[in-house]
Amino acid sequence: MVLAVVALLALLAGCGESAGQSGETDPEQVDAVEAPDLGSCRRLALTDVAAPTNASPVVPCAERHTAETYAVGELPPELDDAGYDSPEVAQFAYDTCSEGLRTFVGADESLTMRTVLSWAWFRPSPKAWEDGARWYRCDVVGGGAQSKELVALPKTARGLLQGRPDDKWLACVDGPSVSGAPKTPCSQPHDWRAVTTIKLGEEADAYPGDRLSEVRSRDFCKRSVQAWLNYPAQFDYGYTWFREPEWNAGNRRSVCWARTTE
């Protein structure tokens, strides 16, 4: 039995330093005070997802794209005086974009965490922020921090995970373990599949600590993966558990992985 453990550091898309944008920019969007259009599609790269603001040109959603804007709005009035990089703004974006993504693609929290889909959020440029802009933009993207690159999305990702999702959207790993390995769609050759999640606490609960979080994840995933594999005598499993920064941001789940090529 092999245990593959991943402990990831916090990464709220759009909360770090700008990594630069991968392609062209639309000059009208660079310092835009007005909120972007809902439903717009763009060709983003991983460097774009990590940036706090984005002015990539909009492309027709019928053409190849890696991002679709599913939520746009104004920050609540109580955040009017918040700092550009304030935790309060980041927390609002996390809550809004996370819940909005699940509604948009038609999946619960557990399934969403077991896919190659994720979200990125963007805010106005620092100049536009100084001019009073307080909008946010949530994009669904075909990948995330654990991906090699973003994959192309369909014309719209609305309802994409309803029913039985296609393997091209489910998360797998190709490698000896899940530790540090990038996610890959399960439609591609793989050695591990994300099969279940465990909820470690409720929204109001305090962080249980690293050791307890890991032990609970390990023990639950062992039982869960064995059941998913139909109770073989020998099997390999892995688990992805998250530390206090992710807990404080709102995540309460760990992901269980089964070693399988199916």
Mean pLDDT of the 76-96 span: 93
| CA nearest to 192, candidates 164, 229, 142 | 229
Please check the confidence at residue 3 and state whether its pLDDT lies above 50.
no
Residue 204 CA to residue 225 CA, distance in Å, equals 28
- At 96-133, the pLDDT tens digits run 999 999 999 999 999 999 999 999 999 999 999 999 99
Which pLDDT value is given to residue 43?
96
Which pLDDT value is given to residue 125?
96
State percent of the chain over pLDDT 70. Answer: 91
Q: What separation, in Å, do the N-terminal and C-terminal C-alpha atoms of the chain show?
A: 19
Residue 7 CA to residue 150 CA, distance in Å, equals 22
Burial of 21 (0-12, 13-18, 19+ CB in 10 A): middle
Please check the confidence at residue 241 and state whether its pLDDT lies above 50.
yes
Strands 67-74 and 135-141: antiparallel
Tokens linked to 118: 């994720």
**Where is mean pLDDT largest: 23-37, 126-140, 243-257?**
126-140
**Where is mean pLDDT largest: 93-107, 132-146, 173-187?**
93-107
User: Band of the pLDDT at 180, cuts 50, 70, 90?
Assistant: confident
Residue 55 CA to residue 13 CA, distance in Å, equals 16
Strands 3-8 and 237-242: parallel
State percent of the chain over pLDDT 90. Answer: 78
Which pLDDT value is given to residue 18?
30
Tokens linked to 156: 């719209």
- At 61-71, the pLDDT tens digits run 999 999 999 99
